[in-house]
Structure formats: structure tokens, C-alpha cells
Structure 1
Amino acid sequence: MEDTAVEEAEVSGAAELAPALVAAHPLGRSVAVAVGPELRVFDLKAGSVVSLSDDSGGGSHSDAIRAISFSANGVLFASAGDDKLVKVWRTDSWCCIQTITSEKRVSTVAISNDGMYITFADKFGLIWLVTVGQSGGGQESTDNNSVSIFGHYCSIITSMKFSPDGLFIVTADRDFKIRVTLFPKKPLRGAHEIQSFCLGHTEFVSCIAFTCLSEGSSFLLSGGGDSTVRLWDYINGCLLDTCQVRDKAGELLEPNETEDNNLAIADICPTNDGSLVAVAIQSFNGIMLLACDLVAKKLSFLKVITMEKCYIPISLASSFSAGLLWTVMGASNMPNQAGSQLLTRLHIIPHFKNGILASSDHVPTVLVDSEVPHGEKLLLALQGSLDIAKQDEVLASMQAALKVSMHKMLVKKHYSEERREHRKRGRNDKKIKK
């Protein structure tokens, strides 16, 4: 029965739904949204749409972008996805300076703190590393330029981050594991030393993020399919606290929307000082705020910011300098969706850095469209155009699809022997012998 259900979902294409992503420049200079193969960037300083260019010699994204990330200082930006391309952009010119080709589809990407290396994970669970700019001269990087440094073999990597001090690279997977690996001084030779494992999630780990005390010590936050947000001493692999969000979210949902697989954590985003954590939850039309006491090492429910019924945030990003929390809803590869209809919807929450949201007498609000920085110009650039009369209909359809998309993408699939052999024969990611 389970094999049949999975195979039917696969044939219908629902499992290939590609959620939209949002990323904010750490200094508040720009914001990027990815939906399908489209990368949309808006310059917040100049108040204008960014025109992307490419000097890498590689092609443009031709399939769904699955990961985007700014470097720690905001100088570089990386995008990667189902077309097996990893593209590296300079954010001063928004010119692509390097294109790396992966043998398999890419699930996540990260940039080392010093900006010297790009790491990306493929669908087989291998983590690859490339030196930034090594291709040079306008030549496209090939898979020969990337080096496999370690892996969670046969387990899809769902999230990857460098620690704030740059000493560790942390990877999470759909088999409930979080691995903390020492990032070596010569990473091209491989990353062989495991610092710790953070074990405790009972379903897939969907997202991880670092949060820091003012004196510099850092902790790891994680969210998963078990509807929990967890706080870790990642260096020692110790679970410090767990916040179960299912009950709180369930109070605000209809009874038929509270199944476990509909309340997975979609994304988490802490404030710069670590005192607050914003949480996006599958099926939940709003953001849940958690108080994070890094001294007492405790997570606790604080309040909920609700949004309209048809809006379910699936990706979060914070611009610390401006104190804005960016949220996005959107997806590509939806049934009957043309390339020109790649719709996303943005909502922005202000005061995400100065403690106002943590005040017990403050009622958090979402900026209305007229209050959004640069207003209609920004919204048109990042959301895409759509007939207002059709907007509710499209968002409702998208909402229904997004409720099950994460579960279908991240829960390990089980296939019959016949189906497994059929999939092997149809693989298109086999390495071509030269």
C-alpha cells in the first residue's frame, strides 16, 4: 500500500513541487527570491531591480532552484538546484563569476566564512567543495573542479551551515541526523574529523541555524518533521532544550489540518542577538515566535503572528541591519502552471532585532503592501505579476499543494523491487566516462 501511494505521488508530479526561497543580504543591501529557475533580486539601497549577468561561461538555471545563500559578509551569493548547476555571484555587480556542474541534483549550498570555498550537497548525500574563482578566465567549472569532502551516504542533505567561527560545517539530513564536522585548514584533501552528532529528532531535520551570545559563544537551532525546534550545544552534541510547537499551532488550525505530517517545521530564523526565533510551520498561516534564553539554555513559546488564511510562509530570512523578517510563499512545478505564472507572495515583519516583538504588550503586525520598502516596485519585482482577481484562487491552489510538499520531498520513499529496477534504468545522472 505504501509503495503504491508513493509511486502514484511520483507519477502525478506532486513530489517534485519546488517551494520558493528567500534570502536577505546580511547588511540589508539586497533581497533575493528564487522560484523555479528564476532568481529575482532587488537592490534595497538603490531601490531598483537587479539585472543579473553571467561571465562564468556556464548556462543559466533551467530547472528549479533548491538552495540560495549569501556569504557571511554579503560579498558572494550562491544558487543551486535541480539542473545540477551551482552558480556563484558577486553581489556588488550581480555578475555570475563561476558555474560548477554537479553529477546529481543539488539540495543545499553554503559559502565558507572567509569566502574562499563553496560547498554543496547532492541528492546522494555527498558534500562537494570548490575553491571560489578557481575556474577563472571566463571558463565554466566542470565536475572535475569539485572535490567530495565527506557525505551522509544515501541520505539527502536538507540543510548545511558553517559555524560563526568558521571552524565547523554542520549538515542535517532526512534520516534525523545532524553531523558536526571539523572544517580543515586544507579542505580540498577532505573533511575527515567528526566533532559530534546531534541526535534527537524523530523525523527528518528540515532546517538548521546558528545563534550567538554577545560574547561570541554560539549554539545550534534545528527544526524538523517531528514539529519540534531544538537547541543544541553542537560542539559536544548535547541537546539543551526542545520546544514542541504542534500543540500551539494546532490550537489555531482546523481539526483536519493537525496531522503530524502537516505540522513539520518549514524554516527557522533567529534574531541577531539570539533572543528570538521565528518559526515557519507547514499548514500554518503565520509565524510562531519563540523566546530563546541562551544563558539559561531554554526555548519557550512567546507569541504568534497570524496572516491571511491563504498565506503559509515556507522560507524565512532576516536583514539584521534593517530589522526586517522576510517571509515568502510560492512554488513552481505546480499542475497547469506556465513559466510566466511563477507567482510568489511576500510578507515582511518589522522590528525583528530590537526587542519590540518580545514585549508582552506589543502586538506584532505585518507590513501592508504600501508600507513595504520601495512599495510596489519591490513587490512587482519579487512576487511576479498576476491578475489580482486570480490571486486568491492561485494562492489557495498553492496552499493545498504546499501542505504536503515537504512531507513528500523529505520522508524517505519505499519502492517495490520492480519500481526500484525501473528507476535505475531511467537514471540520467550516471557519470559519463571520458
Structure 2
Amino acid sequence: MEDTPMHEAETHKDIEVAPALIAVHPTQDSVAVSVGSDLRVFDLRGGSELSLLDDSSGQFHKDSIRAIHYGANGKLFVSAGDDKLVKIWCTESWHCIYTVSSEKRVSAVALSNDGLYVCFADKFGVVWVVDLEGFDGNQALVNKKAGPILAHYCSIITSLEFSPDGRFIVSADRDFKIRVTVFPKKPLDGAHEIQSFCLGHTEFVSCLAFVSSSDYPQGFLVSGSGDSTVRLWNVSSGSLLHTCEVDVQAGLLESNGRGEESNSAVTDLCTIPDGTMIAVAIQSLQGVVLLTCDLSARTLSVAKVVSIMGETFIPTSLRASTSAGLLWVVAGVSNLPGFDRPSFVRVRVISGFRKSNFYSSEKEPTLLEDNEIPGGDKLIQKLQGSVAVDEKVLQAAAEAVKVAMSNLLVKKQYTAEKREFRKRMRNDRKTKQ
């Protein structure tokens, strides 16, 4: 009987659903969506779909994409995932200029603010760096290899972010830790100086972002977690400045059916362009929670909950551009078992985030209709293929993403006997035997 839970867990691993992801160009020149191994990009300037060119390996991604990210200046775009490939794209031509092979599945990516380095993290807890020196925007990179820069001890890294001033690279993992590392002048030699640890979350850390302003250009870190909180940090000291229990403050706490309150994980967050607002996606919420950050008081508070009604729409990813005042939200999943349509994407956009009008009662965040979204029907057709998705599929997808996230990031507890059994069944031990 002791063996059964392990075999069940292994069965779940064979069918891994992956959430749909979205990324937006810093000045909203384009928007990218991934679902499964499919990467779709739409040109918002020209109002047309974009074709991707990849000569590096003869094909695009072969397995689920787990991270997509634009560089700070928008010239580069990175995609990576379960096929252990990290692809670096030039956004002028959307040509893959380089493909890096990772030793393990990739879980997070980040680009340095100066565009000279791509960092990616794997599920074994190692962060790697690729030097982009010599990239001129036209020719593909050659003879570039990834080197290890830092590591979390055998813990899945869930998020990577560079600080606004470029001094630090921040990494988060499923063991509740946030590590702030000084980004060295020669990253390929390794990053050996740890600035601080931000400790306080009681469940896995799922996402990171920085909030900053002209008065606070160095910025403060915000993190989301499986403990249903968003926390504000001083990265230089690692000090916890404020904790916002988003499910409680937004009135989202529910009963789990056993007379106990059950909280929901924060799945994603991003900074709204004015630098003092944060959009938060929560595992069971049909909408987005908007937080305001008072940088002088070092506090977070819930400003509004923007509900997305009319369909089961639980966001899996969200991003904002730095110029247009729009929040792009996506819900979707790949490899959904038991349905004729195992992969789908739904894109929604919320407007009204310009700093000048957010605090005006006349200009509040508004959910746009499909025909009001930049790019209109052409964008919808390119990024999601179709608008209509059966309600049962939407509900099943939301539950599947929740279960998959729990299986991946919630550490399982085993008895001493079961731990010994699992050790004996490890592949390296099998080989020796």
C-alpha cells in the first residue's frame, strides 16, 4: 500500500498540463502568447500576425513553453520550457538568433536591463547566463555557451527578476525562499556575493516584480506566493516591509467544505506602468486584484477587484506595457486530458491604468470587448484562434491548472519508510544495483 501514492504521482507527471502565458512589448509594439509548445506573436503596430523564423534547430519548441519574456528595451524576446531549449529572438525580424540547450527543464527566464545577458533557471535550482556580446540585431549569435551563475540547493526556481538599477538578480523558489544576488561584472565567472535573503512566505513563491518611481528609482520587490499573500521587500537588507493578505482583503477567502478556510495561491503579478500599482492573479478568482503601493509608507493595499464575468475566466498570466495603460490578461491551458480541445487560449484586456486618470472616479479600469482590443479580430484570431470555448472546458482547465501547480510546487510529505523506498527507486540507484 505504501507504493501506491508514488505510482499515482508518477502517473500525473506523464500528463502535465501547462498554463497559457502572455508577454507584452515594453512600448506595446507586439504581444506574444504561448500555450503548450505553440508560440504566437501579433504585431500591434502593423495590425497583423507575425511569422517566426527559426533556423537554429530546424523546428520550434517541442514541448510546453514555461517562460516568455521581452527585454527591457524590447529588442530581444526569450522563450523556454520543458524541451530544455532556451530560444532568443530578435523582435525586429522575429528570427531566432540563438538556441541554448539546458541540462534540465527550464522554469524561468530574465534579461538584464542593458540587454547584454540572458539568464534562465532550471527545475534543479541552477541559474545559467548567456553573454550576448556581439549581437548587432541582424546576425545570429555563434559560439555562445551558457554558464552557471548561481544555484538554489535542489529547489525548483519559479521566478527571476533584475532590479531596476541592474545591481541585483533576484531568484525565488518553491522552498519559500527569495535570494537577492549581486549581479557581477563578469557573470560567466559566477555570482558569488549574496546581498540578502527575503524570508517570510510560508508556501512556495510563485512570482516576483519590482515597483519603483522617480523618488525611489532603486525600487522595492513584491512577491506572490501559495500562502495567498503579496509581500513588499527591501532587497538591500532583505527586510519584509509589508504583507497583504490578498484573499482576505479582497473578500475571496472560501471554505474548503470541511469547516476550514482555504486560501488560494497567487499565480502571477505584474507592475502597472505608473510604478505604484500591481495587478494580481489568484488561483480561483474570475478577475484581477489591483493593489496600490505607497512607496513612502512602504505599504500595500487592495484598491479594487476587477471581475471578468460572463464566462469562467481565471487568469493564468498577466502583463502590462509601459506606455499604453493597458493590462493584458490570458487564461488557457495545454494538454488538458479528456477533451476534444486539449489546448486553448482566451485573451482579455483591461484599460484605464494611466496614472493621470486612475484616481479619478470618472476613469476606472474597464474590461474591453474583443472588438475594442488593439488589433481587434485579427489579434483574437491569431492569439486564440477562436472565441468560443465550452464552459465545461473552461472549468476543467481552471481546475487542471490548479492541480498541476500544486503537484509541481507544493512539497510532498513522506513517512521515513516511504522516503527510503523512494531513495531505492531513484534512477541513479537503479543503475548501480
Q: Please say whether Structure 1 and Structure 2 have the same fold, judged by a TM-score greater than 0.5.
A: yes
- Opposite residue 93 of structure 2, the aligned amino acid is S
Question: In structure 2, what is the Cα distance between the partners aligned to 1:274 and 1:260?
Answer: 33
Question: In structure 2, what is the Cα distance between the partners aligned to 1:225 and 1:154?
Answer: 19
Deviations 1:127-169 (A, max 9, x none): 1111126799868768xx1111110020111000111111110
* Secondary structure class of the residue paired with 2:170: strand
Aligned to 1:218: 219
Distance 1:3 1:235, change over 3 A: farther
1:269 and 2:248 aligned: no
> Which of 54-63 and 83-92 deviates more?
54-63
Aligned to 1:283: 284
- What's the offset of the Cα at 1:376? 1.1
Distance 1:352 1:119, change over 3 A: same
- Opposite residue 398 of structure 1, the aligned amino acid is A
- What's the offset of the Cα at 1:359? 4.0
- Opposite residue 247 of structure 1, the aligned amino acid is V
Distance 1:34 1:251, change over 3 A: closer
Aligned to 2:198: 198
2:174·2:410 contact (CA, 8 Å) conserved in 1?
A: yes
Question: In structure 2, what is the Cα distance between the partners aligned to 1:208 and 1:110?
Answer: 11
Distance 1:321 1:8, change over 3 A: same
- Opposite residue 205 of structure 1, the aligned amino acid is V
- What's the offset of the Cα at 1:63? 0.2
1:262·1:283 contact (CA, 8 Å) conserved in 2?
A: no
1:14·1:405 contact (CA, 8 Å) conserved in 2?
A: no
Question: In structure 1, what is the Cα distance between the partners aligned to 2:355 and 2:383?
Answer: 26
* Secondary structure class of the residue paired with 1:54: coil
Question: In structure 1, what is the Cα distance between the partners aligned to 2:125 and 2:369?
Answer: 41
- What's the offset of the Cα at 1:23? 0.5
Deviations 1:223-258 (A, max 9, x none): 101111011111111111110012245547676599
* Secondary structure class of the residue paired with 2:195: strand
- What's the offset of the Cα at 1:403? 2.8
- What's the offset of the Cα at 1:274? 2.1
> Which of 38-47 and 254-263 deviates more?
254-263
- What's the offset of the Cα at 1:352? 2.0
Question: In structure 2, what is the Cα distance between the partners aligned to 1:151 and 1:258?
Answer: 41
Aligned to 1:66: 66
2:242·2:298 contact (CA, 8 Å) conserved in 1?
A: yes
1:42·1:381 contact (CA, 8 Å) conserved in 2?
A: yes
Question: In structure 1, what is the Cα distance between the partners aligned to 2:5 and 2:377?
Answer: 43
Query: Alignment length, in residue pairs?
Result: 423
Distance 1:42 1:256, change over 3 A: farther
1:328·1:344 contact (CA, 8 Å) conserved in 2?
A: yes
Aligned to 1:330: 332
- What's the offset of the Cα at 1:307? 1.0
Deviations 1:276-325 (A, max 9, x none): 11110001111011111111111011110011251001211001211110
- What's the offset of the Cα at 1:194? 0.5
Aligned to 1:85: 85
2:280·2:289 contact (CA, 8 Å) conserved in 1?
A: yes
Question: In structure 2, what is the Cα distance between the partners aligned to 1:401 and 1:67?
Answer: 19
> Mind listing any 5+ residue stretches in structure 1 that lack a counterpart?
429-434
1:176·1:205 contact (CA, 8 Å) conserved in 2?
A: yes
Aligned to 2:53: 53
2:268·2:316 contact (CA, 8 Å) conserved in 1?
A: yes
1:147 and 2:147 aligned: yes
1:224·1:265 contact (CA, 8 Å) conserved in 2?
A: yes
2:352·2:363 contact (CA, 8 Å) conserved in 1?
A: no
* Secondary structure class of the residue paired with 2:118: strand
Aligned to 1:208: 208
Question: In structure 1, what is the Cα distance between the partners aligned to 2:243 and 2:178?
Answer: 15
- What's the offset of the Cα at 1:353? 2.8
* Secondary structure class of the residue paired with 1:52: coil
> Mind listing any 5+ residue stretches in structure 2 that lack a counterpart?
none
Distance 1:38 1:78, change over 3 A: same
Aligned to 1:432: none
Over the aligned positions, Cα root-mean-square deviation in angstroms equals: 2.8
- What's the offset of the Cα at 1:86? 0.2
Question: In structure 2, what is the Cα distance between the partners aligned to 1:258 and 1:38?
Answer: 42
Distance 1:132 1:261, change over 3 A: farther
Aligned to 2:405: 406
Question: In structure 2, what is the Cα distance between the partners aligned to 1:257 and 1:270?
Answer: 36
Name the TM-score, length of structure 2 as normaliser: 0.90
Deviations 1:326-381 (A, max 9, x none): 0111111211457x752111110012232534445655321111211121110111
Name the TM-score, length of structure 1 as normaliser: 0.90
- What's the offset of the Cα at 1:219? 0.7
Aligned to 1:418: 421
- What's the offset of the Cα at 1:402? 2.1
Question: In structure 2, what is the Cα distance between the partners aligned to 1:258 and 1:63?
Answer: 41
Distance 1:253 1:320, change over 3 A: farther
Question: In structure 1, what is the Cα distance between the partners aligned to 2:134 and 2:5?
Answer: 45
Aligned to 2:98: 98
- What's the offset of the Cα at 1:9? 4.0
- What's the offset of the Cα at 1:47? 0.4
